[in-house]
Amino acid sequence: MILRQFLHLDPIGISYLFGCGGHASGAVVDPVGDIAPYLRASEETGMRIKFVVDTHIHADHLSAGRQLAEATGADYVLSSRAQVAFPFRAVEDDDVLPLGNVIATIMHTPGHTPEHLCLLVTDRTRADEPWFVLTGHTLMVGDLGRTELASSAEQGASDLFRSIQRLGDLPDYMEVLPGAYAGSVCGRRLSGKPSSTIGFEKRHNAAFRIADEAEFVRFMTAEIPPAPPEAARLRALNAGATAAAA
């Protein structure tokens, strides 16, 4: 297993390159900005980028996903529920992205957006069960993703409640690698620590601890911060709208 984490400051976010060095196969998740660092990391680790995945249609920045996929010949991967104006590799719950000895299994986790997905990553040279989960803006360290950027806040919160039940069923030891950290507009109580575990978040993440759906919806829809600047326009551009139309 090879894993590289990219911490971004403008906008605040986290991208990942992971894969199998032995089979020279890698994937990039949620790329932001200049694609050169991903290309350089791919070359340095000896992994060809086979998949570029966006966990969701972002509303806080322009995705570099399609650009990176085009530059590398990789498949650009989104949830089958994504409504976009360009071709992509559509994935469903439990679909697998093969990367040699490493596999990434899709978990559909709507809430932050209707098409959000997470990736359960397994290194079969070490174990048959997943080692970590890439959670995008669903579960972050200290908080969950806001729910009103692509649906009503209430509907998004109801969807998110069901999604976090699935994440909460994962083993406590499983590592959580999120798509953002403190300073991101996509959460309210985010930690500056860019990783955690399911067990720690179940103990210390206030939103993740709530077991009643009505209480959860009330919690997630209270004190919603202002939307990111140009959120609707950025989401439309990431879905394939032209600059003029957006």
Q: Please state, as a whole number, how many other Cβ atoms lie within 10 Å of the Cβ of residue 102.
A: 27
Place of tokens 């409640």: 161
Summarize pLDDT for 11-51 with one digit per residue, the tens.
Answer: 899 999 999 999 999 999 999 999 999 999 999 999 999 99
Segment 83-110 shows an average pLDDT of 98
DSSP run (H or E) holding 133: strand 132-136
**Architecture of domain 2-222 in CATH?**
4-Layer Sandwich (3.60)
**What does R_g of the chain's alpha carbons equal in angstroms?**
17
Q: Cis peptide before 130, with omega less than 30 degrees from 0?
A: no
pLDDT at 243 (0 to 100):
56
What is the 3-state secondary structure of 86-102? CCCEEECCCCEEEECCE
Residue 246 predicted with pLDDT over 60: no
Reported as a single tens digit per residue, the pLDDT across 182-215 is: 988 888 889 999 999 999 999 999 999 999 999 9
Sign, CA dihedral 22-24-27-32, equals positive
Least confident of 87-96, 162-171, 218-227: 218-227
Confidence of residue 228 (pLDDT cuts 50, 70, 90): confident
Residue 200 CA: distances (Å) to CA of 16, 204, 229:
22, 6, 32
Phi and psi at 155, nearest 5°, equal: -65, -45
pLDDT at 244 over 70: no
Q: What percent of the chain has pLDDT over 70?
A: 98
